Structure 1
Amino acid sequence: MVKHRRSETVTNQQSRIEVLVEGAGPPVALLPSYGRDGVVDFDDFAGQVAADGYTVIRPQPRGAAGSTGVMDDVSLTDLGADVASALRATAHGPAVLLGHAFGNIVARVVAAVWPESVRAVGLLAASGSCPPPDIRDTPTIAGDLTAPEAVRLDALRRGFFAPGHDPHAWLTGWYPDVLAMEVAAVPRGDLRKNSFWSAGTARLIEVIPEFDPFKPQDQWLELRDENGGRLTTRIVAGAGHALFPEEPVGLLDALLPVLRRLCHPGIAPGPTHTPPLSAGNGAGS
């Protein structure tokens, strides 16, 4: 699935960013979650999206994979600039940015500061306004390579994987320095008060994993209430916060029809088995 993938290096004032590119067609960029790269976690998904007729772009966070750069006193705007420079170099036209977990925050920044580079923003496993206190620290525990394996697995089970899913795959793939840099870049307090939160005026695609503890069901309506008609929301049944390794077919079913409508408005989007939010499951479409 990745045999036609190529790697490019994009340089800006602070960093040298490795960008993985595959496929041909409208650009779709994937931005990874806290402390992880955008390689193995996204490989299968990226290949499937590329095969559906898109150019899939994966800028690797500075400090991860083949990317390097300043790691101290880094702001979200700095991280957004890394992505924006990657898009300018590799995307032919505005891209759909799919940000997983922390990546959705970076995607919002790019859309707010560099709107000409963005067609729409995907908020994949985006946290609710008030995750449970015992869940908030699970990324730093899971990404602490010095912690006992049992402690890290417990954090992965609690914070990332739905009941019955094996979390062992995510014992690897963490970059502690990247995790620390990204955590420090996030402003303290209510992120909804920041100018980037609205992602400018971009169309928004929300994907909620059914069992994501970072967004309990009583917070599923928040983004709809904030954004109204700009927002399309889909649920991936059976998934937790990790999402990509858990329910890859459900994730593709949720996103591919939306991508087709956004990027190929004259073509029928095809079937999807992922239901929209509805009153019957505690939310609205």
Structure 2
Amino acid sequence: MTGPTIQIVQSNGHRFEIIRWSSDIPEALLLPGATGGIRGYGALGAELQSLGLGVAGMNPRGCGGSQASLENVTLRDLAGDVIEVLSVLCDAPALLIGHAGGNRVARMAASMRPDLITAVVLLAAGGMVPPDEEAQAALSQIMSGSVEKAERHKLYRTALFAPDSKIPDEYFEVPDRSAEFGRAFSAALAATPVGDWWAGGSCPILAIQGLQDRIAPPANGYLLKAKFPDRVQIVDLDGAGHALCTEKPREIAAFVAAFARRLRAGEQLSPR
């Protein structure tokens, strides 16, 4: 397979756009952050595929070619979408990989249907420890969809990237991000108690976090590990912020692929 292909999954009147980095039945499903835009994860998807992990990426409703109502949507609705896609795409329980907002959806899905999910990888595992106020203000402006070109570099640096990371030009123009979905997601999250999704069911969890992440501070991962020491592993990445999938795709892919190999082999996943 020379490059990603697009697949449309239709289920229960919904339509979901899937990017396939492998022609094989996917072992893993990648979920984007709170404004969607799975096309922004091409580097990570390609790295995972190069390491032998069959992976697909899913656009949430209202993003790219995915179509379903955003009116009064709940976090359970979004997790239910993931469950629908897993049921169609995969012929065995799968690994869920969620970035930022997507990791909350992944955790909710793992809580709802543990029979479909072998483990969860959390990339920027926020939710308990609040963001830095300056970074949150910058992110809110970004998510509003009204960022002027002259100020976007500063806002993205403040909210999403480590101080020394290069921000690729294409990061600003991911075509399937959706401010409308971002607003619906924020409302769904605000209406959902953290306790409904925080634990991620009872499956193994690998949390990979940027040490310079100001939106999902690393303290979130440490709290999760303290609460569930027998099933949570933590990887800290220096030189990475909230946009760690863009900053460190090769490093992330190596950790995820090794985690997946151990899951396949049925090894005891000793937390670190």
Common fold by TM > 0.5: yes
Q: Deviations over 1:182-204 (max 9, x none)?
A: 1111135862xx22221111111
Deviation of the 1:220 alpha carbon: 4.7
Q: Deviations over 1:210-239 (max 9, x none)?
A: 211124455552111111111011112211
Determine the structure 1 residue equivalent to 2:129: 129
Label 1:143 to 1:131 Cα distance change in 2 as closer, same or farther (>3 A).
closer
Label 1:189 to 1:110 Cα distance change in 2 as closer, same or farther (>3 A).
closer
Determine the structure 2 residue equivalent to 1:31: 31
Q: Map 1:66-215; keep pairs closer than 5 Å.
A: 66-127=65-126, 128-167=128-167, 168-173=169-174, 174-188=177-191, 191=194, 194-215=195-216
> Is 2:44–2:246's contact at 8 Å kept on the other side of the alignment?
no
Determine the structure 2 residue equivalent to 1:279: none
Q: CA RMSD in A?
A: 2.4
Deviation of the 1:104 alpha carbon: 0.3
Give every structure 1 segment of 4 or more consecutive aligned residues whose post-TM-superposition deviation is greater than 6 Å. none
Rounded Cα–Cα distance in structure 2 between residues aligned with 1:130 and 1:140: 14
Mean CA deviation greater in 178-187 or 94-103: 178-187
Rounded Cα–Cα distance in structure 2 between residues aligned with 1:182 and 1:57: 22
Structure 2 unaligned spans of 5+: none
> Is 2:245–2:252's contact at 8 Å kept on the other side of the alignment?
yes
Rounded Cα–Cα distance in structure 2 between residues aligned with 1:169 and 1:70: 28
> Is 1:26–1:53's contact at 8 Å kept on the other side of the alignment?
no
Mean CA deviation greater in 41-50 or 110-119: 41-50
> Is 1:14–1:70's contact at 8 Å kept on the other side of the alignment?
no
> Is 1:80–1:106's contact at 8 Å kept on the other side of the alignment?
yes
Q: Deviations over 1:133-187 (max 9, x none)?
A: 2222333312333232243322211110001223344322231111111111113
> Is 1:20–1:57's contact at 8 Å kept on the other side of the alignment?
yes
Deviation of the 1:93 alpha carbon: 0.6
The count of aligned residue pairs is 266
Label 1:6 to 1:17 Cα distance change in 2 as closer, same or farther (>3 A).
same
Rounded Cα–Cα distance in structure 1 between residues aligned with 2:199 and 2:34: 20
Deviation of the 1:59 alpha carbon: 1.5
Label 1:157 to 1:190 Cα distance change in 2 as closer, same or farther (>3 A).
farther
Structure 1 unaligned spans of 5+: 270-275, 277-283
Rounded Cα–Cα distance in structure 2 between residues aligned with 1:218 and 1:5: 35
